[in-house]
Amino acid sequence: MRDTIYMDNAATSWPKAPGVAEAMAALLAHGSGSPGRSGHALSLQASRAVFACRSQLAELIGASDAARVVFTANATHALNMAIFGLLVPGDHCITTSMEHNAVIRPLRELSRRGVELTVLPCTGDGKLEATAVQQAIKSNTKLVVLTHASNVCGTLMPIADVAAITREANVLLLVDAAQTAGALPIAVESLGIDLLAAPGHKSLLGPTGTGFLYVRAGVEIVPIIYGGTGSFSELSEMPAILPDRLESGTLNAVGIVGLSRALSYLAAHGVDTIRAHEVSLAAQLRSRIASIPGVTLYGNGQGASIVAFNIGSMGSTEVAHILDASFGIAVRAGLHCAPLAHETLGTLGQGIVRLSPGPFSTIKEIDEVAEAIERIAEERV
């Protein structure tokens, strides 16, 4: 029985998939060799576990070659790996006003180094018109970076339409799938996505400290970290092949084993089934609080399972504190590491309270959350 009503799955999922903690503990208790670093049984066992998880991720995102899936520490690591590994001074990059700082900050740094940056404005509910990307492409455009769904309000971006545009223009497309990997079906090859970054600890239901970057065949990335890979040790340069070229240092085998168990759970239950459950809960929650006097909703309610709102002029962090301290409801409030998105939504000063139910959330919890928000609004608005 959980005492806390957890509505912060967009930050990190909880509870994790059944068996994740046990799988990680078992590896630590019964032998955790270094994958790819030795020929003894424990090392080989770890290597097999890493390969199995890599294959599961490839299947999940529709990639035919598991070697194109590179393990990272999180989505931020993966995004930085792609952005810094692709862009050089003189290149032009296009992104949007709904991006997370994991995209905006590296791009701002590169713009100071001579990379040309265009930030496309989105509508007041976070939508992007794909034609805006087409109109922004220039002769030196190398990369378009696009979130799949806003981490602030959940609005989906037109990934398929943008991918068609970038393919036609011979421009690379990097998708930030932090809010969608494991929550929405993704097929990188059929969609024409060149690179995709995601964490393992959100909708993939795995542990923190895990993530991955998918790199399409033919896309070359300059490593941002150099070191041992357990392969081609006779070379003083980084290996040319993936995933070795982008996986310097010892991998988080314990976390990867946990992620693998979570991916098995997703495969058994189905992403579509889990999404239907989450979407239903989010829609009911959005409908319930929409009628509360003083409540303002953000986004269009048609993307990720996120319900973003404010109560009157109350600070979002104050609302979050009351929900936690008085009702035992865990939510995320503030700017969500996405100030440009808040500028777009008109909430930079107030922030937003973000509710994000997960696969283990219940309708009873949704009712309790709606009732708590109603009580706060009655007392304070």
pLDDT value at position 286?
97
Domain range holding 369? Answer: 270-380
pLDDT band at 37 (very low <50, low <70, confident <90, very high): confident
202 and 78 share one domain: yes
CB 258 within 8 A of CB 207: yes
Main-chain phi, psi angles of 172, to 5 degrees: -80, 145
- DSSP, collapsed to helix, strand or coil, labels residue 96 as strand
- The residue from 233, 249, 269 where one domain ends is 269
Give the separation between CA 211 and CA 189, rounded to whole angstroms: 19
- Residue 189 belongs to a domain: yes
Same domain, 225 and 104: yes
pLDDT reported for residue 1: 38
- List, in order, residues 6 or more apart from 302 with CB less than 8 Å away: 155, 156
> Residue 232 has what pLDDT?
87
Query: Residue 24's pLDDT band (boundaries 50, 70, 90)?
Result: very high
Do residues 302 and 318 share a domain? yes
Q: Residue 120: name the closest of 94, 84, 139, 87 by CA.
A: 94
Look at residues 269, 304, 319 and tell me which one is the last residue of a structural domain: 269
Q: Tell whether the model's pLDDT for residue 2 goes beyond 70.
A: no
* Residue 380: predicted pLDDT: 82
Is residue 46 scored above 90 in pLDDT?
no
Residues 122 and 174 in one domain: yes
The C-alpha atoms of residue 72 and residue 210 are separated, in whole angstroms, by 6
3-state secondary structure at position 76? helix
Same domain, 149 and 33: yes
279 and 169 in one domain? no
Give the chain's domain count: 2
278 shares a domain with 236: no
- How far apart (Å, rounded) are the C-alpha atoms in residues 272 and 186? 11
Band (231; pLDDT cuts 50, 70, 90): confident
In whole angstroms, give the CA distance from residue 334 to residue 354.
9
Q: Poorest-confidence range of 34-43, 101-110, 277-286?
A: 34-43
The order of strands in the sheet holding 211-215 is: 69-72, 211-215, 195-199, 172-176, 141-147, 92-96, 116-120
Phi, psi values for residue 270, rounded to 5°: 90, 125
Tell me, yes or no, whether 227 and 281 share the same domain.
no
Q: Which of 347, 341, 351 lies closest to 178, judged by CA?
A: 341
Q: Which residues of 177-208 are buried (b: 16+ CB within 10 A; e: fewer)?
A: bbbbbbbbebebeebbbbbbbbbbbbbbbbbb
Backbone angles phi, psi at 119, to 5 degrees: -105, 110
Do 126 and 149 fall within a single domain?
yes
Q: What is the pLDDT of residues 190-204, one digit of tens each?
A: 999 999 999 999 999
Which residues are the active-site residues? 337
CA 327 to chain centre: 28
Is 343 inside a domain boundary? Answer: yes
> Where do we find the tokens 């011979």?
170
Q: Residue range 233-237: average pLDDT?
A: 90
Q: Smallest Cα–Cα separation from 47: which of 36, 61, 59, 62? A: 36
Residues 110-113: contacts with CB within 8 Å, 24+ apart? 110/83, 110/84, 113/89
Residue 183: which pLDDT band, with cuts at 50, 70 and 90?
very high
Helix (H) or strand (E) holding 277: helix 271-290
Q: What is the mean pLDDT of the chain?
A: 96
Tell whether 1 is covered by a domain: no
Q: Is the pLDDT of residue 290 over 70?
A: yes
Residue 205 lies in a domain: yes
Task: Express as a percent the part of the chain with pLDDT over 90.
Answer: 91
Q: Which of 199, 234, 269 is the last residue of a domain?
A: 269
Whether residue 31 is predicted with pLDDT greater than 70 in this model: the reply is yes
Query: Among 111-120, 138-147, 228-237, 300-309, which stretch is predicted with the lowest mean pLDDT?
Result: 228-237
pLDDT at 30 over 90: no
Give the residue from 10, 4, 73 showing the smallest Cα distance to 334: 10
